[in-house]
């Protein structure tokens, strides 16, 4: 294998003719490779992917857990205990250290596995020629000798030698740093040592096609590419922490300082009270560990990872973790129309030619249907030369293809172009046969700015160009009209009639594409839009229907309830856009409509004033999206933006959440995005917002629970020592609480299902802290309550004359059980547990039962009872422990009831006051 790779690397592919490259690689430019040959080469050269660092072993994860500062402090405490002869304490502390590290490894490994599974779902595909057929394959499966088809918006999948190029431009900034796209050409370059930027007949992995189309034969894959060589020289850098993780790291530092102060105060207070020096040292160390929720970062990581995995099941792939947090604060969703708000089952329903509308039956991509005159009579489209010209031009001036699969017919390429190919097939004109009969001699690829595409074909010895595009745009470039009697001048009157038909169809929600032709003596040298797409003869147009998605209408309604405004941005005609927007309830009476032409006339300040009331943008180019996003952000909105084209990439990057289309989206758009919609469905964005809000809410619940429990431990120990009662808990008991009552319930709270009203609340403010909404106060109150309950249990045991072991056991059990009961309170800040339902979070029920079982084990299992210095309790003591443990649930339920009653009482008082005045 290695020898074969070295042999390929010796070649200077840019200096060879394309045919010679194919021969050297044992391939065929017309047929590509065979499937068996691909398998053989894949085993020889390996997958076409950059090598990743090997996954971390469980041992290395375990060692990294032991490097944590607090764990090192704990290990130091164990060593001190051993030096003082307290071997039992040393053993127990080390067991707890190992268990805590094992739990951390489990959580870290689970998070990594979830992210690994997620990465496997974000496969990239490329169009390739194999055994003479164009098909889509995963980029990883490319091998040297494969023939790939490239077009605007694609990321180049491997290093390759071009042998066909039509206005092909490539952005190679990733390799060369040159921001201006390179115009590619096919000529050989004689010099052997040529800089990458000057190898104009080559394309390189990781670069982006910004315009045109081409074909190339793969010369190098994986680590043998130019990008692979660079990757080999670079060291892997760890991923940046998310804003939430940075916020929690800051919180951890604050808590660390606070814990240090508290520990010092507790230790000095104990010393002042005459407590045992060694015992107070161990208590202070244990309290330091208990005061800081060291399990929180791993809980957050695993909750984020599992949440992102849940999103993937709902067809939303999160590429960048910060998007999860941002989703929860989105106030605007700017969405494409075609395929996102509509079904993307593009079907030609009518053809306008010879001044008449002809209906086309059949739906979807199945090439079966009839052509009906306005009278309802079936007609034979190929018997009308202009209808044949219309259908033939639509198929030839398209890059899409129909492919039959086991599940039916599918389109490879743009769905709108696919609809034209299907319409031609319904009349008996197969694209492959038409291309063979009338080969493409040249082209000017589609450009979203000019909204047109042109191809040149040899038709019976004469060169014709077909230009397709938006009717209003195309008509502006036409001065002639194709009629049954021949080509005539296009008068203003006829032009107006055509535009009226177009407007009528557009107002019915139809998308309209026009076609024009021009005759040439020969294909122009260096054809441009300015020289070619002028003086055209108008043939007719296609009316294409793409019905709105029912789920999109429901999702728009959910978004409105959630305080998120939906905006439609489309290149379609204004009437088409408004018709669909009305049906989806995006546009309502009083809402604004802006066209691309109007946007061009507006300054940024004027646009800033209009965006708050505009819900439909029609006839806009991707460049306008950038201005719309900027204007919304200038009004302090958090914007999610969808896009699919290469020109959408800047807007996707500029938006707070860039959502690329998974089906129709270009690789460049996907690379620029934070999220990929696998089904190109608007409802998926709204589902992702719900998941994003739920994930953030659940992380806050875990934080609330952990910090209130830690506060309880501090309050119990500090208060007891302050009042001269000694410590109510032994150091080992404190560490055990930190392990058993913190980890499992906190993780289970992170898996809490969405609350029913999560999409009925307004978006939270991006500036809102983790403790907003009264959570900080709740943590202090609830933590103080937990601590005082444990202290009460300890005090009662002492005044009842119980032994110190029994008193410690009562305080230990009360604090543990009250914390576990409190985990059910943390499920919501304001909703009653009985409203949420006990069994709606089964993970928490299981975590509760597990933690209770472990807690009871240290009381009832004899050897554990000795280790943890606990004692068997009397029935009356158990009654106290259980009674006190249930108090947090009762207290919080009553406080929630009062909180809920406040607005009602306030309204009643207000109404009463008005009535009596």
Euclidean distance between CA atoms 282 and 287, whole angstroms: 8
Among candidate residues 724, 706, 705, 721, the one with its CA nearest the CA of residue 262: 721
> Quick check: is 240 catalytic?
no
CB-CB contact of 873 with 856 (8 Å): no
Residues facing 481 on adjacent strands: 488, 538
Q: Phi then psi for 606, rounded to 5 degrees?
A: -65, -45
d(CA 586, CA 618): 13
H-assigned helices in 586-681: 596-601, 604-610, 622-634, 649-654, 667-672
| Tokens, residue 739 | 């392990």
Question: Is residue 49 within 8 Å of residue 154, measured between CB atoms?
Answer: no
Phi, psi of 872 (to 5 degrees): -70, 135
Sequence-ordered list of residues with C-beta below 8 angstroms from that of 727, at least 6 positions apart, any chain: 270, 275, 279, 280, 283, 717, 720, 721
| Separation CA 695–CA 689 (nearest Å) | 10
- The CA-based angle 73-76-81, given to 5 degrees, is 130
343 closest CA partner among 315, 363, 313: 363
Sheet of 592-595: strands edge to edge? Answer: 316-318, 675-677, 657-661, 639-643, 332-335, 565-569, 614-618, 592-595
Give the three-state DSSP class for 135.
strand
CB 632 within 8 A of CB 639: yes
CA separation for the pair 31, 733 (Å, rounded) = 73
Q: Which of 688, 462, 473 is nearest to 562 (CA)?
A: 688
Rounded Cα distance, 559 and 615, in Å: 14
**Residues 647 and 209: beta-carbon distance below 8 Å:** no
Residue 713 tokens, joined: 């431990």
Q: State the burial class of residue 206 (Cβ atoms within 10 Å of its Cβ: 0-12, 13-18, 19+).
A: buried
Token pair, residue 107, equals 């959580």
Listed in order, strand segments (DSSP E) in 451-550 are 452-459, 462-469, 478-483, 486-489, 510-520, 536-545
823 touches 855 (CB < 8 A): no
Instruction: Quickly list DSSP for 42-97.
Output: HHHH--SS---PPPPPHHHHHHHHHTSHHHHHHHHHHHHHHHTT-HHHHHHHHHHH
Q: Which residues pair with 592 in a beta bridge?
A: 614
**Which residue, 688, 744, 596, 656, is CA-closest to 309?**
688
Do residues 732 and 93 lie in contact, with contact meaning Cβ atoms separated by under 8 Å?
Answer: yes
Of the residues 89, 159, 336, 414, which is catalytic?
A: 336
Look up residue 342 and give its DSSP letter: B
| Residues identified as active-site | 336
């Amino acid at each position: 294998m290695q020898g074969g790779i070295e042999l390929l690397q010796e070649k200077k592919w840019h200096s060879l003719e394309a045919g010679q490259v194919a021969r050297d690689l044992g391939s065929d430019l017309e047929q590509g490779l065979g499937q068996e040959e691909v398998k053989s080469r894949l085993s020889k050269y390996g997958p076409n992917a950059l090598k990743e660092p090997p996954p971390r072993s469980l041992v290395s994860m375990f060692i990294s857990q032991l490097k944590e500062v607090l764990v090192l402090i704990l290990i130091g405490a164990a060593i001190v205990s051993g030096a003082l002869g307290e071997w039992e304490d040393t053993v127990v502390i080390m067991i707890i250290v190992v268990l805590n590290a094992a739990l951390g490894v489990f959580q870290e490994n689970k998070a990594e596995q979830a992210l690994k599974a997620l990465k496997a779902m974000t496969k990239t595909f490329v169009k390739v020629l194999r055994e003479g057929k164009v098909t889509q394959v995963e980029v990883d499966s490319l091998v040297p000798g494969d023939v790939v088809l490239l077009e605007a918006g694609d990321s180049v999948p491997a290093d390759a030698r071009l042998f066909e190029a039509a206005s092909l431009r490539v952005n190679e900034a990733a390799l060369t740093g040159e921001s201006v796209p390179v115009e590619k050409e096919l000529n050989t370059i004689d010099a052997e040592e040529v800089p990458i930027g000057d190898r104009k007949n080559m394309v390189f992995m990781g670069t982006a096609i910004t315009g045109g189309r081409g074909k190339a034969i793969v010369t190098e894959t994986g680590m043998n590419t130019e990008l692979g060589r660079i990757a080999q020289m670079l060291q892997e850098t760890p991923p940046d922490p998310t804003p939430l993780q940075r916020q929690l790291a800051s919180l951890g530092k604050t808590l660390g300082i606070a814990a240090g102060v508290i520990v010092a105060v507790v230790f000095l207070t104990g010393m002042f009270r005459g407590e045992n020096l060694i015992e107070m040292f161990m208590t202070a160390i244990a309290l330091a560990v208990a005061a800081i929720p060291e399990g929180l970062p791993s809980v957050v990581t695993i909750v984020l990872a599992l949440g992102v995995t849940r999103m993937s099941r709902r067809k939303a792939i999160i590429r960048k973790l910060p998007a999860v947090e941002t989703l929860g604060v989105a106030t605007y969703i700017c969405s494409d129309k075609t395929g996102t708000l509509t079904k993307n089952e593009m079907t030609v329903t009518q053809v306008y030619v010879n001044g008449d509308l002809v209906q086309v039956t059949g739906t979807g991509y199945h090439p079966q249907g009839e052509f009906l005159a306005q009278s309802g009579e079936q007609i034979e489209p190929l018997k009308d030369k202009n209808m044949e010209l219309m259908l033939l031009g639509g198929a030839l001036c398209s890059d899409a293809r129909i492919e039959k699969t086991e599940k039916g017919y599918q389109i490879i390429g743009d769905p709108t172009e696919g609809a034209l190919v299907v319409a031609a097939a319904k009349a008996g004109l197969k694209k492959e046969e038409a291309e063979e009969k009338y080969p493409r001699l040249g082209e000017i690829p589609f450009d979203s700015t000019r909204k047109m595409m042109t191809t040149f074909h040899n038709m019976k010895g004469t060169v014709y160009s077909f230009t397709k595009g938006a009717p209003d745009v195309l008509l502006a470039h036409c001065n002639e009209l194709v009629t049954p009697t021949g080509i005539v001048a296009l008068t203003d009157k006829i032009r107006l009639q055509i535009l009226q038909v177009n407007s009528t169809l557009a107002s019915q929600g139809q998308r309209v594409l026009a076609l024009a032709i021009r005759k040439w003596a020969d294909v122009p040298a260096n054809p441009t839009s300015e020289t070619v797409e002028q003086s055209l003869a108008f043939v007719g147009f296609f009316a294409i229907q793409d019905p709105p998605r029912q789920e999109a209408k429901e999702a728009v309604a959910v978004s409105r309830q959630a305080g998120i405004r939906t905006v439609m941005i489309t290149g379609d005609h204004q009437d088409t856009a408004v018709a669909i927007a009305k049906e989806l309830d995006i546009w309502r009476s009083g809402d604004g409509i802006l066209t691309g032409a109007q946007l061009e006339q507006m300054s940024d300040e004027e646009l800033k004033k209009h965006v708050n009331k505009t819900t439909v943008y029609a006839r806009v180019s991707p460049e306008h999206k950038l201005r719309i996003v900027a204007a919304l952000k200038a009004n302090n909105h958090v914007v999610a933006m969808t896009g699919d084209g290469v020109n959408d990439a800047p807007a996707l990057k500029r938006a707070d959440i860039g959502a690329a289309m998974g089906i129709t989206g270009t690789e460049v758009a996907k690379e620029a995005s934070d999220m990929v919609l696998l089904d190109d469905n608007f409802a998926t964005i709204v589902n992702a917002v719900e998941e994003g809000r739920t994930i953030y809410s659940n992380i806050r619940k875990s934080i609330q629970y952990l910090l209130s429990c830690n506060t309880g431990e501090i309050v119990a120990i500090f208060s007891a020592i302050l009042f001269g009662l000694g410590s109510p808990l032994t150091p080992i008991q404190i560490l055990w609480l930190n392990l058993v009552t913190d980890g499992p319930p906190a993780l289970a709270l992170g898996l809490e299902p969405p609350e029913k009203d999560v999409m009925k609340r307004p978006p939270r403010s991006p500036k809102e802290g983790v403790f907003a909404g009264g959570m900080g106060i709740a943590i202090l109150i609830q933590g103080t309550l937990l601590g005082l309950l444990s202290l009460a249990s300890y005090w009662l045991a002492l005044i009842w004359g119980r032994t110190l072991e029994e008193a410690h056991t009562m305080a230990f059990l009360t604090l543990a059980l009250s914390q576990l009961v409190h985990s059910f309170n943390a499920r919501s800040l304001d909703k009653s547990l009985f409203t949420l339902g006990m069994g709606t979070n089964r993970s928490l029920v299981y975590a509760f039962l597990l933690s209770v079982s472990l807690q009871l084990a240290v009381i009832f299992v004899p050897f554990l009872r000795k280790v943890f210095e606990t004692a068997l309790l009397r029935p009356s003591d158990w009654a106290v422990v259980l009674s006190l443990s249930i108090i947090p649930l009762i207290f919080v339920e009553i406080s929630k009831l009062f909180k809920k009653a406040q607005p009602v009482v306030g309204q009643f008082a207000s109404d009463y006051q008005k009535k009596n005045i």
